[in-house]
Structure 1
Amino acid sequence: MIRSNAALSFIPADAAGSLAAMVGRTAVRALYAELALHPKPGLVSPLDSGSHDDMDMGTFLRSLFALRGYFRAIAAAGAAGEDFATLRDFGIAAERRMLAATGGINTHRGAVFGIGFLGAAAGWRMRRGLTLRGAALGGTVAELWGAGILAAAPQAPVSHGGRAVERYGVRGARQEAAEGFPTLFTLALPALDGALTDGADPERALVQTLFTLMAELEDTNLLHRGGPAGLAFVRGEARRFLDRGGVFRADWREEALALHRACIARRLSPGGSADMLAAAHFVHALREGWA
């Protein structure tokens, strides 16, 4: 339960602005780290465009440049205690800037939504001197804005992920956010923390986390592109990768590249897992820099 304002110790407004800027920089760095990571089966990376004909690394970099002020602004809005409607309007404006920068290509819609609300929650908690440990950020999103997230009508046109949710009855990004991002805090972050604890360097830890997500997540992008069969294929291959030792095997990179090529052949791209990976990087980095 979030404490009432009377029990909180507010950070001065000038310091809150610096904290919001830090949240913004952390978000952009997380998205760049996800983009630069490779091999990522079917996804855009410095290696190639994966299963995507309409975008490459340059497209993502243009998108990131367009979004660089958004994450700082939404963290500041969260710090100020703005309501769901205000945060939603920040996100809509950011998505328009993204689409203008990419020529209409959706590169970071998932991050605008997910990391946007997590960034707002970080701003809210940091302004009040509260911890970011555990699932605190997710709990803040759920308590302050969860009802608004569920009640809001989907923006038109409906995204590929939204159509997959409607067709297959799986969990979507809105439900995940409204419930406090349970997949992020019970699956992705423990996988990242565990890999680092077991001695993986940051690159291998991120790959291990990505494959953990691919093995478990009902990825709506995979459902959109390949239906249940495509989702089952990626989940099964990711599970086999992990069961054989994951990134702690000497030949892990060759195995990951083999799945990358298989995903390209099938036009599959686990974009939902990539979004969750970036969110995990973001929250992990924030935790390291805040009590």
Structure 2
Amino acid sequence: MNSREDEALAQAAVTALTEQLALAPKPGLPDPRDLGVPAAGRDHRALRWSAKALAPGLTAMAAAARRSGEPTPLLRAELGAIGRSTEHSVGLAGGGHRGALWVLGLLVAAAALNPRASAREVVAAAKPIAALTDKGAPRRPSRGSSISAKYGAAGARGEARAGFPHVRRALDALATARSSGAGETEARLDALLTVMSTLQDTELLHSAGPPGLRRVQAGAREALEAGGTATPQGAEQLAAFDGELRANAWIPRGSSGLLAGALFLESLPVVVTPHAVGSLAA
């Protein structure tokens, strides 16, 4: 694997994130509909812009994994340091994407360790990296880890250490929806709802508490059980669910990052062509 392939992996991850941002209507989450609302529109444009700021850090993560060749404590520490630096850069560019950076960073590193691996093999390779301790991490607990401890939720770390079960669920949901005739937008919305229906989202636990989290999970299930977003009943249920989340200012951010992870995995293996190399250099 060479540096151009590291850049290609990073770009594939950024593309997956921007495609997730472009998806609509996402219940409770920023999407292109917000562009018509002054304050929300600024926030959505900032998210799209700051997503690009992930590329250098993700490239560095891929390169670190390629040099290491295997999951090691040293690699885990290096990924953590790159991640913290990237968070700072993203903050300067407009902020956001912390959860997506965690998901995509581990998956990009795992893909660099296994250049021709399938999506499932990459997810499996990310698990031992996540299981290692980042000795350079701040000793002060993060809000997410504090919420995880308070409510017994898996949180972002638990999700990764379990081998990203919700990323795998999203991959299954994408395949199922497409095979049933759903369009790409509806397949991706169904995958997002599938993640929301069971994810113990620590951001939601913080803002809405356990009752709010249970309501979000139930609302996602209701849209899926109505037939999914490709059906009139499912689309109607999705619209009602979206309205409820926006009225309560409940934002299921954790689900969006995991969907981006699934979309990234679907782009693998990344093959660098002369055209792609030229576009990366542009």
Give yes or no for TM over 0.5: yes
- The correspondence for 2:102, drawn from 113, 121, 124, is 113
Summarize the alignment of residues 158-197 of structure 1 with structure 2, pairs less than 5 Å apart: 158-159=142-143, 161-185=144-168, 187-197=169-179
Summarize the alignment of residues 228-247 of structure 1 with structure 2, pairs less than 5 Å apart: 228-247=210-229
Deviations 1:143-186 (A, max 9, x none): 2452225x775565723x3332122111011122123222322x
Unaligned 5+ residue runs, structure 1? 1-10
Number of matched pairs: 265
Deviations 1:175-208 (A, max 9, x none): 22123222322x1211112212222222111100
What's the secondary structure of 1:148's corresponding residue?
Answer: coil
Counterpart contact for 1:171–1:218, Cα < 8 Å: yes
Counterpart contact for 1:191–1:209, Cα < 8 Å: yes
Alignment match, 1:207: 189
Alignment match, 1:94: 86
What's the secondary structure of 1:93's corresponding residue?
Answer: helix
Pair 228,36 (structure 1): closer, same or farther in 2 beyond 3 Å: same
Alignment match, 2:247: 265
Residue 60 (str. 1) matches residue 47 (str. 2) = yes
Alignment match, 2:131: 146
Counterpart contact for 1:75–1:123, Cα < 8 Å: yes
Alignment match, 2:56: 69
Counterpart contact for 2:106–2:129, Cα < 8 Å: no
Pair 35,133 (structure 1): closer, same or farther in 2 beyond 3 Å: closer
Look up the equivalent residue of 1:110 and give its one-letter code: G
Q: Percent identity?
A: 33
Alignment match, 1:282: 264
TM normalised by structure 2 equals 0.85
Look up the equivalent residue of 1:174 and give its one-letter code: R
Query: How far is the alpha carbon of 1:234 from its aligned partner?
Result: 1.0
Alignment match, 1:30: 16
TM normalised by structure 1 equals 0.83
Residue 84 (str. 1) matches residue 86 (str. 2) = no
Alignment match, 1:222: 204
Look up the equivalent residue of 1:162 and give its one-letter code: S
The runs of at least 4 consecutive aligned structure 1 residues that moved more than 4 Å come to 52-55, 151-157, 287-290
Look up the equivalent residue of 1:224 and give its one-letter code: H
Pair 152,244 (structure 1): closer, same or farther in 2 beyond 3 Å: farther
Counterpart contact for 1:184–1:276, Cα < 8 Å: yes
Query: How far is the alpha carbon of 1:68 from its aligned partner?
Result: 2.3
Unaligned 5+ residue runs, structure 2? 69-73, 273-282
What's the secondary structure of 1:247's corresponding residue?
Answer: coil
Cα-Cα RMSD: 2.5
Equivalent-residue separation in structure 2 for 1:20 and 1:153 (angstroms):
24
Pair 221,168 (structure 1): closer, same or farther in 2 beyond 3 Å: same
What's the secondary structure of 2:59's corresponding residue?
Answer: helix
What's the secondary structure of 1:38's corresponding residue?
Answer: coil
Look up the equivalent residue of 2:220 and give its one-letter code: A
Counterpart contact for 2:81–2:136, Cα < 8 Å: no
Deviations 1:185-240 (A, max 9, x none): 2x121111221222222211110001111111111121111111111111111111
Equivalent-residue separation in structure 2 for 1:41 and 1:283 (angstroms):
23
What's the secondary structure of 1:80's corresponding residue?
Answer: helix
Deviations 1:6-43 (A, max 9, x none): xxxxx5xxxx2222122111101110011111111111
Counterpart contact for 2:34–2:41, Cα < 8 Å: no
Deviations 1:74-98 (A, max 9, x none): 1121111161111111101000101
